[in-house]
Amino acid sequence: MSIARRNVSELVFEDYLRAYELGTPDYEPVVRGKDKRIDYRLPFKNDFLWFEVKEFSEDPNYQDKMAEFNGLMSQPYAGIRHKIDKAAEKFKEYDGECCSLVIYNGTCNLNFISQPK
């Protein structure tokens, strides 16, 4: 059995859950009848909360890519939208469940969730 490797965003999320004593989540649990695996399942009351945790960092070629849009700043959040769309695709299989996407940006983290108050 191999140990799944976690990325920075997942480690920060786990630290957040521990800091606020929100419980111990299952990492990428296998769920009978489901093909897609969500990053975290957290027991809550008599149910589960599901979390897909993704990293997002500013693309160093951001300005060059924006120039490709002919100067139209119509898609400044294309990278975030891509993460949302991918998570939404996974969540379809979990219809009726409480599913959340957590996006972490270690280079421009404006909310500092990793530092409990």
Over residues 20-38, mean pLDDT: 96
Q: Which helix (H) or strand (E) holds 86?
A: helix 78-91
What are φ and ψ of residue 98, in 5° steps?
-90, 100
Count: domains in the chain: 1
Is 55's pLDDT higher than 90?
Answer: no
Question: Does the residue 61 lie in any domain?
Answer: yes
Dihedral (CA of 29, 9, 110, 76) sign: negative
pLDDT tens, 64-110? Answer: 555 555 444 555 567 788 889 999 999 999 999 999 999 988 776 55
Query: Does 116 map to a domain?
Result: no
- State the CATH number of the domain containing residue 73: 3.40.1350
Residue 115 lies in a domain: no
Q: Are 84 and 28 in contact (CB under 8 A)?
A: no
**Lowest mean pLDDT, pick from 1-10, 14-23, 50-59:** 1-10
Range of the domain at 46: 8-104
